[in-house]
Amino acid sequence: MNGTTRIPWRAQLRAATIAGCGAALLAACAQTPETPNEVAATRAELSQLQADAALAPLVAQELTEAEAAVQLAEQDADAALTAHRVYLAQREIEIARAVGEARLAEQERQALVDEREQARLQARTREAESARMEADAARMAAASAQQQAVQLQQEIAALHAQETERGLVLTLGDVLFETGRAELKPGAVLDLDRLVDFLDKYPQRTALVEGHTDSVGGEDYNRHLSQSRADAVRAYLVRQGVPASRITASGMGESAPVASNNTEAGRQQNRRVEIVISEHGSASSR
Amino acid sequence: MDTMALRRAVALTAPRGALRCAAILAVACAAACASTPPTAQITAAQQAIEEAERAQAAQHASAELSQARSKLAAANTAVNGRDMDEALRYAEEARVDAELASARTAAVKAKAANDEIRASTRALVEELDRNTGGTR
């Protein structure tokens, strides 16, 4: 090519440019973009994401696309085209970031699910444990109640007491006192000592001591005698350590015979001390 | 003759550093001078918007989705006004707006799912603590 052919081509270029593309495209050849700050900011934004150790490895493909978009924005172009390319590049960067955040969250999910399973398992284990402990406690309580009931029966049997509708009734025959006297015979306290043990063991129970006589003698005398004898029994129990508040003494006289007073055998049965033991307040009461 | 003549003219007249500029000019000119609608880009934008809508972007990234929709409308308006250069840019921007709407929606959903799991774990742990404290 020589110099003579250059001029027409240059003229053609000018003509083509003006006719085809308009004046705006001439600016595309300007060496500096009109919005260098935004281009630089976009590049900085991309660099920041590329340096993000958590996100960058998850979005290699997206970062490649964003890099291409930023490079395109960095190319010389007119202001409008550069602004457009900057916009696209910024969007590509934001897309890469959002995709990265979504993938990071998905990556974390398994660990979170595992953590939740762990907690659930722990809760279930704890639940089973406490259910087992409750069952154990209930079983033990039942066993202990059963044992207590058996023990009570044994103790009632040892006490020689009868279970009646009035409660446990311990009947002491006319061996406690000499005729007409209200002092306990020294050898007669064995049954009373068993009663003391029983009342010690069941501190909720109270005792009513009733003195009874046969019909021999005056009624007032008999009532008085039976009261004195009941008091003597009560005093003995208190001396043995049973709280006085738990024992009531009552002289019934000849008012409540259990047999005929016409025979000696009947009168002997009627001369007695009955001790009625309350059943309330005890775990094994029925 | 435009493009061919242009390239040759530039190649011959411009110094080597300006070659790149000339190439851009050629491409830009081809785009700017386009007289046919950017159908492919408009279709791409349309599809990206539909995809975002299916992903419930309206709920989770409504701003981005709205931008995509209005830019797609602007692209179509520009086509009607025979401004194909502007139509192309609007269509491209509508597409990336829609893609961003989808990406942000996915991120929001993924984080929400994690938060939900965390919350149920926390509830389990709290219940566990409460039970442990209460039994003894």
> Which residues of chain A make contact with B89, given a CB cutoff of 8 A?
84
Write out the two tokens for B106: 């996915």
Q: Identify the closest residue of chain A to B30 by CA–CA distance.
A: A21
H/E stretch holding B125: helix B84-135
Each residue of B91-112: pLDDT tens digit? 999 999 999 999 999 999 999 9
pLDDT given for residue A72 in this prediction: 97
Of B20, B32, B128, the CB nearest to A21: B32
pLDDT given for residue B6 in this prediction: 47
Window 97-136 of B, Cβ < 8 Å to A: 97, 99-100, 103-104, 106-107, 109-111, 113-114, 117-118, 120-121, 124-125, 127-128, 131-132, 135
Chain A closest CA to B88's CA: distance in Å? 10
pLDDT given for residue B41 in this prediction: 97
Please say whether the beta carbons of A211 and A230 come within 8 A: yes
Distance CA B75, CA B87 (A): 4
Instruction: Work out the pLDDT band at B33, boundaries 50, 70, 90.
Output: low
> Which residues of chain B make contact with A1, given a CB cutoff of 8 A?
12
Digitized pLDDT (tens) for each residue of chain A, 286 residues in all: 444 444 455 555 455 444 444 444 444 444 444 567 999 999 999 999 999 999 999 999 999 999 999 999 999 999 999 999 999 999 999 999 999 999 999 999 999 999 999 999 998 898 899 899 999 999 999 999 999 888 888 888 877 888 888 888 888 877 778 888 888 887 777 778 888 888 888 888 899 999 999 888 888 999 999 999 999 999 999 999 999 999 999 999 998 898 889 998 888 888 899 999 887 644 333 3
The CA-CA-CA angle for residues B120, B122, B124, to 5°, reads 70
The contacts found for B78-86 with CB under 8 angstroms, 24 or more apart, are B79/B37, B79/B38, B79/B42, B82/B35, B84/B34, B84/B35, B84/B36, B84/B37, B84/B38, B85/B31, B85/B32, B85/B34
> Which residues of chain B make contact with A113, given a CB cutoff of 8 A?
117
- Determine the length of chain A: 286
Please say whether the beta carbons of B61 and B52 come within 8 A: yes
Between chains, do B114 and A92 touch, taking CB under 8 Å as contact? no
CATH number of A160-277: 3.30.1330.60
pLDDT given for residue A9 in this prediction: 52
Between chains, do B107 and A102 touch, taking CB under 8 Å as contact? yes
pLDDT given for residue A18 in this prediction: 46
Please say whether the beta carbons of B23 and B8 come within 8 A: no
Q: Which of B103, B95, B101, B92 is nearest to A83 (CA)?
A: B92
pLDDT given for residue B1 in this prediction: 42
Which DSSP letter does residue A24 get? G
Indicate if ipTM > 0.90: no
Between chains, do B100 and A91 touch, taking CB under 8 Å as contact? yes
Question: What pTM, to 2 d.p., does this model score?
Answer: 0.54
CATH 1.10.3470 fits B37-135, yes or no: no
pLDDT given for residue A12 in this prediction: 54
> Which residues of chain B make contact with A91, given a CB cutoff of 8 A?
93, 96-97, 99-100
pLDDT given for residue B116 in this prediction: 96
- Please list the alpha-helical segments (H only) found in chain A: 3-16, 36-50, 60-74, 79-159, 190-201, 219-239, 264-270
Please say whether the beta carbons of A212 and A272 come within 8 A: yes
Q: Where are the domains of chain B?
A: 1-33, 37-135
**How big is the A-B interface in CB pairs under 8 Å?**
132
Distances (CA, A) of A92 to A67, A88, A97, B66, B93: 9, 6, 9, 18, 10
Distance CA A229, CA A213 (A): 10
Of A205-219, A265-279, B27-41, B63-77, the poorest mean pLDDT is in B27-41
Which of A2, A7, A9, A59 best probes binding to B when mutated, by most B CB atoms within 10 angstroms? Answer: A9
Between chains, do B13 and A109 touch, taking CB under 8 Å as contact? no
